[in-house]
A and B are shown apart, each in its own frame.
Chain A
């Protein structure tokens, strides 16, 4: 059995409108890329946000990298997330007032990155976006924006990369590319992927699946 990277116990999320989502227990090992599956309304995104520290854990416990996230203060949780997690969403949501490169620098700044500035160049060429580094965010295509958002998630050498429907808005070809990219980059940086999705095209790529 490999080393556990994240686990949760008795995890329950109570929305204000008495809608309660119970996730029970779960455990994910290091390097064990995992899909969170389930139809709409089952709480894929909620579980992902709880694990990524975007939602406060009120009932149950989440242990990530051996630390209990449920006991952290807001500030500590923000810092922990910035330093250890990378997040990728369906939409890239890049900061429009900045260039592509500056978007990555923002990630470096907020995440207290150990990565040197010139290493960003390597990341750009790895993801095939070196030539758009100095462009404004409004000038690049959606596919390019998604690659930039993947680069942004990788900037701080995260231990876990959380993805929320990363392929939902992509065609088959791009979908395959993104999945391969995610896998190879996770391999390169020794990160574990946790992907919430209902995209059937990628189910076969990841043996470990948590069905909600």
Chain B
């Protein structure tokens, strides 16, 4: 027999109250941990995807929407900007690179992005199989797309208009897969990338406005910054969705937005600013949930406190007997403290485990979350220590009452 065993037996002998305290603590720790894990993964996800992009230029509208649609590919684009304007802007002396994006089509829910090779290069994406797209209607797909839609090199698919699965087919213009990218853990994994002209081509044919021969006969222009080769006609009438800009100097952050926003059709959006704004919006909700989690944790502490205090009434005689058998006051103190300690360690650990299992399940259903169940953050150590500290604090007072038990008075009462 020893003190820890004695405390454990005491907990087991009152299973209902012990389980209640344990469940409450598990629940509270689980909420706090889950929030920590989700917000951390969201943040790292956002930072990873926005890395290297200083500014996004799109059609007039909400800057947040531009960021969400052009960087994270989750919202709808604000509209189109003309290629001519984009080209002019790309020649600005504050810019080192400008990547054109043409959005709006999808295949079975995966977004098709008309762009140049510079786009995957922003994310250091490598090919795991095949080649980058060169010709019209050649497509390179992200690792996740390849996996989930079981697409292989040489497979053909028809794009759909719109960004959800309910869009109309674009008809017979079949894309074919020429390359598959290696996983990058960024938004790139979930995209299908094609050339800008491929997107135009699909739309032109649908609209059937132009004769087919035009771009064979026209002389070609090379737009240097955009790395696009277009016909004169395309330069005049073509449109893209947005431009991803990289600054040449910090001065650009001051000068460019003003210049761009002064143009009637363009809207500049800063990823850093907009994601900070996004965090602010989410932050309130996160805080409310966090407070809820803390409240549950504190309630579990109170429940440990009450359970111990209640049991002391019954165990007064047992404690007096232990003292008469030679137990010191400190032994009694430790005996009671250990009960709170065991409960809080158990609750803390199961809380963390449940949170990690929960994030594993969430990761499978929500795109873009790290699905690794056993990805631990150092903050979790603080949560565990906090839970244990709480159990300790909750049992201090009962333990003091226990050690102060007047053995003579208690035992002389019968």
Contact = CB atoms under 8 A, between A and B. Distances in A.
Given A93-B318, A105-B1, A164-B411, A74 B326 contact: no
Contacts of B322: 95, 106, 110
Contacts, number: 81
Contact of A82 (B1, B13, B327, B329): B327
B326 A111 contact: yes
B200 to A, nearest CB: 79
The majority secondary structure among interface residues of chain B is helix
Given A90-B414, A110-B325, 4 more contacts: A49-B412, A105-B1, A110-B322, A111-B326
A89 B411 contact: yes
Interface string A103-117: 001111111100000
A28 to B, nearest CB: 20
Given A93-B317, A97-B10, A54 B2 contact: no
A78 B324 CA distance: 7
A49 B408 CA distance: 7
A111 B321 contact: no
Give chain A's interface residue range (CB within 8 Å of chain B).
35 or more
Interface string A37-55: 0000000011001001011
A78 B14 CA distance: 29
A102 to B, nearest CB: 6
Contact of A152 (B320, B325, B328, B331): B325
Contacts of B414: 89-91
Contacts of B330: 75
A82 B326 contact: yes
A97 B12 contact: yes
A79 to B, nearest CB: 6
Nearest 3 Cβ contacts at the A-B interface: A82-B326, A97-B13, A105-B1
A52 B321 CA distance: 13
A96 interface: yes
B13 A96 contact: yes
Interface of A: 45-46, 49, 52, 54-55, 74-75, 78-79, 81-83, 87, 89-91, 93-98, 102, 105-112, 152, 156, 164
B1, B9, B10, B331 — which one has the most chain A CB atoms within 10 A of its CB? Answer: B1
Interface in B1-41: 1-2, 6, 9-10, 12-14
Contacts of A45: 412
Contacts of B314: 96
B201 to A, nearest CB: 79
A116 to B, nearest CB: 14
B323 interface: yes
The majority secondary structure among interface residues of chain A is helix
Contacts of B12: 97
A112 B326 contact: yes
Contacts of B329: 74-75, 78
B64 interface: no
Give chain B's interface residue range (CB within 8 Å of chain A).
20 to 34
B1 A102 contact: yes
B320 A93 contact: yes
A74 B328 contact: yes
B407 interface: yes
Contacts of A95: 318, 321-322
A121 to B, nearest CB: 16
Contacts of B14: 97
A82 B325 contact: yes
A91 B317 contact: yes
A96 B6 CA distance: 11
B43 to A, nearest CB: 47
B331 A110 contact: yes
8 contacts: A49-B412, A54-B411, A75-B328, A87-B324, A96-B314, A102-B9, A106-B1, A111-B325
Nearest to B322: A110
Contacts of A74: 328-329
B1 A108 contact: yes
B9 A97 contact: yes
B327 A110 contact: yes
Given A97-B13, A105-B1, A106-B6, A54 B325 contact: no
Given A45-B412, A164-B411, A164-B412, A93 B321 contact: yes
B328 A54 contact: no
A108 B5 CA distance: 14
Contacts of B408: 46, 49, 54-55
B318 A110 contact: no
A152 B324 CA distance: 11
B342 to A, nearest CB: 13
Nearest to B330: A75
A106 B326 contact: no
Contacts of B412: 45-46, 49, 164
A111 B328 CA distance: 10
A111 B324 CA distance: 9
A13 to B, nearest CB: 10
Contacts of A75: 328-330
Contacts of A110: 322, 325-327, 331
Interface in B391-414: 407-408, 411-412, 414
A98 B6 CA distance: 8
